Structure 1
Amino acid sequence: MRDPLPAPDFAIQSTQLLARALSLRTLPFHAHEILPSFGLYTFLNNFVAPRVSSRFFPETYFGLSEKGKKNWDVHIVSLLQSCFINTAALLVIWLDRERWSMGPIERVWGYTGATGMVQAFSTGYFLWDVVISATNLDLHGPGALAHAVSALAVSLLGFRPFCNYYGLNFVLYELSTPFLNIHWFMDKLKMTGSRAQLINGIALILSFGCSRLLWGTYQSVRMYQDMWAAFETPGGLPVPPWLAIAYMLSNTTLSCLNFYCFGKMVHALRKRFDKPKAGNEKGSP
């Protein structure tokens, strides 16, 4: 399936040298999607989110500290991006018939324009995420930066192309992100412990567990099996060890962070909705 947004000639020509230097053959066909998406997320964060928030949630937004406002704006961008990228990924997975016919070797080295498009929009977001996490390290913490760097590395390797097929499948991690952001906003809007937050919390746990832990682990295992098949294929294109290791390390980092975050989320939800013991209600030690 072709990219619905084909690259103009000037974009291809202007990025050829960079693509050769980085060994990212398909990058020139998608640079016109990476840079504008990075610019769009920056614009949403710096201009749209503050203005929309101050108009519709003035009491809450202006009651936040400067760090709190930055965090609020980041969550708005994350919410919008996750809704968009989930829709794009699901449409391509469903409509791209070339993907359906791929075998193990094609899943490692194969490429379609539509898959590259979704990968490009993801790359633009993760590039923005790296910048935001690095410049606000005291706010988001080193874990967020590690996640952003790992996700960006995996996305860029897709333009080699390498595991472009699986890169799109891993985009579906974001299926849980809208619920995560809604949960965060409910806390700020004084809806903590409400029935609406409970319903959203259940949806968050289910979507996170299914998309990031079950689906993500299953896709990782399949990807490692296909990499091994590429190693063993006679006369084929073997996977360079450094490339396989880099991709596996990035993917493993993301997987470990997902399991860690899942535990933190379950703990946070239990604190919000577990009823205090009778002894505590009476002030007992």
Structure 2
Amino acid sequence: MVWTSGFVLMHTVYRLTAFASSLLLNGYGKLSSAEKIEWNDRGFSTFHALFVSFASLYFLILSDLFNEDSNDELVINRSSTLSNTVLGFSIGYFLSDLAMILWHFPVLGGLEYVLHHGLSMFSIIQSLLSGQGQIYILMVLFSESTTPFVNLRWYLDIAGLKSSIFYVANGIALFLGWLIARIFLFIFFFIHMWLHFDQVKEIFPLGFYSLLVISPILAILNAFWFWKIAKGLVKTLLKAKHSK
């Protein structure tokens, strides 16, 4: 199965992150055991985020898969071998990362991360098995494009560069990226659902009600994290202003 390949690949990326970091970065060896685990974990989450965000962008904008004029099939029922592969790969990531979070709980994230990963994996599995609603799953996966900025912020902090211009610039990029990919995109998500609700109702019952319940929960989580990011950015900018 594709998700097992994704699981194995994520484990491989985790190990490669550890190997490359120990070889190229002198400071890596000085990290505590917990910090090394989180460092490596963020390495493979960045890899997954870059892969699925570019893949989602391709399917949603560049390809004709969800172009309403490309064929007569309902948009809600469209899928392809390649899109199924991407979803399977993503399941492998969420499964491996959730296992890491639970094993090292709460070092790698609290209950909100468990909820996010669990709901995401549940939704992707339903869409992969049914072939329905993939357009909405890919929209949500594109929001992973903010993850590299989140991870870079942690990397800069652990490297002692919290006062650097790079940290400030990354904070601004994270704020703007989150606003676009996790706030505005979800607004578009719900508008698209409303305008295509006649098609959304064609999704099998569990998938239909999951879409109505899970997507608002993920939107609330995104809004909660956005509020924390905004607070952190204001604090960073004020600190940078006073240090001049």
TM over 0.5: yes
- Residues 142 and 177 of structure 1, relative CA distance in 2, 3 Å threshold: same
Residue in 2 that maps onto 1:265: 229
Letter in 2 for 1:80: F
Considering only aligned residues, what root-mean-square deviation do their CA atoms show, in Å?
Answer: 2.5
Structure 1 residue runs without a partner (length 5+) = 1-30, 232-237
1:137 aligned counterpart, secondary structure: coil
1:158 aligned counterpart, secondary structure: helix
Does residue 1:108 correspond to 2:76, yes or no?
yes
Shift of 1:125: 1.2
Does residue 1:57 correspond to 2:21, yes or no?
no
Aligned residues: 240
Aligned identity (percent) is 22
Letter in 1 for 2:162: T
1:130-209 matches, within 5 Å, as 130-139=98-107, 140-159=109-128, 160-209=130-179
2:65 aligned counterpart, secondary structure: helix
Q: Is contact 1:86–1:175 with CA below 8 Å preserved after alignment?
A: yes
Letter in 1 for 2:4: L
1:17-56 matches, within 5 Å, as 31=1, 33-45=2-14, 47-56=15-24
Residue in 1 that maps onto 2:213: 249
1:138 aligned counterpart, secondary structure: coil
Q: TM-score, normalised by structure 2?
A: 0.88
Q: Is contact 1:75–1:181 with CA below 8 Å preserved after alignment?
A: yes
Report the Cα distance in structure 2 between the residues aligned to 1:260 and 1:127, rounded to whole angstroms: 23
Shift of 1:89: 2.2
Does residue 1:123 correspond to 2:87, yes or no?
no
Shift of 1:245: 1.8
Deviations 1:18-65 (A, max 9, x none): xxxxxxxxxxxxx3x3211110101222x2122222222232x23322
Letter in 1 for 2:230: V
Letter in 2 for 1:38: F
Report the Cα distance in structure 2 between the residues aligned to 1:156 and 1:127, rounded to whole angstroms: 11
Report the Cα distance in structure 2 between the residues aligned to 1:165 and 1:240, rounded to whole angstroms: 15
Report the Cα distance in structure 2 between the residues aligned to 1:129 and 1:276, rounded to whole angstroms: 34
Structure 2 residue runs without a partner (length 5+) = none
Q: TM-score, normalised by structure 1?
A: 0.76
Bigger Rg, which one: 1
Shift of 1:273: 2.7
Shift of 1:183: 1.4
Shift of 1:197: 1.4
